Amino acid sequence: MRLDRLALERRQVWIYVAGIAAGLAAGSTTPGMGSIAELLLWPVLALLLFATFLQVPLLHLISASRDLRFVGVALLGNFVLMPLIVWAMVSLLPGDPAIRLGVLLVLLVPCTDWFISFTQLAGGDVPRAVAVTPVNLVLQLLLLPLYLFLMAREEVTGLVTLNVVAPALLIVAVPLIAAAVTQRWVDARPGRLVVRDRWAWAPVPLLASVVFLVATAQVDTVLGALDVLPMVVPVFVAFLLAAALTAKALAASFSLPPQQARTLAFGLGTRNSFVVLPLALSLPEGFEVAAVVIVAQTLVELLGMIVFLRLIPVVFRTGPRAAGGR
């Protein structure tokens, strides 16, 4: 059953492409479908976030500190080095604030969900991946406003108002609290673990539903933003390459074993588009492209993970000596 879910996650990019295509077709051919999709988008997105947060060990933050070296390297990469790389990349983009803000939003926050699945598929260190995820989640929620203030002051000045931030915070905070409460309820009795296991299947179909609804509700924006893709796709590809090189440099500098190095590579290469999508969708008129940029990054990232699954195990080879080094 577990292998079946991982097989589904291997093919998720094609499921999302199909969802986008179906959404564009529905929005283009069915009058009134866009308004219905817009109403459904928020509750489906909330369910997606709940399913995602439920897989993150929110109540076990302390356990992440047991391996200070790996956690420290992961935090250095995710919250110092990669943000600096993103800042440099964004400076090369056109001056359109919606494009720049969309790229910053999606590339500044590390993934807390499917990077664990990809780590497992690539033979990485899954326990350490699980341990670092709640730290990643807490720090990104705290640091994202600071990053945006430093890197996109002109874009966000006068833009981030209570009307914009409140719905986005609500759509993230409610599933986060619900997931924490559910985790405590699940942990109280071993027999309830099946609840979390069943929800582990939900992110792929729920994200497919989200991209379908986004494409349906924003069909004109999506089609009108196709000329944006040649600008942002090379940035997303360059980010993946930079993540792999940064992981290689950090692993060598701190003498990480191959399995931990693989985990680091996937941790640096994957981003948390689920968390920032509500903020992008809450932006005022004229910034609709930001959400399209985030969806585009998700697809590029997933295609990139297919390459990572072949490349990263070769770059960080395991062997008798490497295994003994752990």
pLDDT score recorded for residue 325 = 42
CA atoms of 264 and 128, how far apart (whole Å): 10
Give the pLDDT of residue 321: 46
- For 2-311, which CATH class? mainly alpha
Alpha-carbon span 138 to 65, nearest angstrom = 14
pLDDT value at residue 326: 37
88: tokens are: 């440099």
Using CA atoms, how far apart are residues 42 and 53, in angstroms rounded to an integer? 16
Domain layout of the chain by residue ranges: 2-311
Per-residue pLDDT of the chain (326 residues; tens, 9 = 90+): 444 676 777 778 889 999 999 999 999 998 889 899 989 999 999 999 999 888 887 766 665 556 788 999 999 999 999 999 999 999 988 888 899 999 999 999 999 878 888 898 899 998 888 888 888 888 998 999 899 888 987 776 666 666 767 777 888 889 999 998 998 899 888 888 888 888 988 988 999 999 999 999 988 888 888 889 999 999 999 999 999 999 999 999 999 999 999 999 999 999 988 889 888 888 888 888 999 999 999 989 989 998 999 999 999 987 654 444 43
pLDDT at 10: 72
Of 112, 118, 120, 102, the closest CA to residue 74 belongs to 112
Instruction: State the pLDDT at residue 2.
Output: 47
pLDDT for position 200: 86
Which residues are within 8 A (CB) of 278 and not within 5 positions of it... i.e. 6 or more apart?
Answer: 45, 49, 167, 168, 171, 172
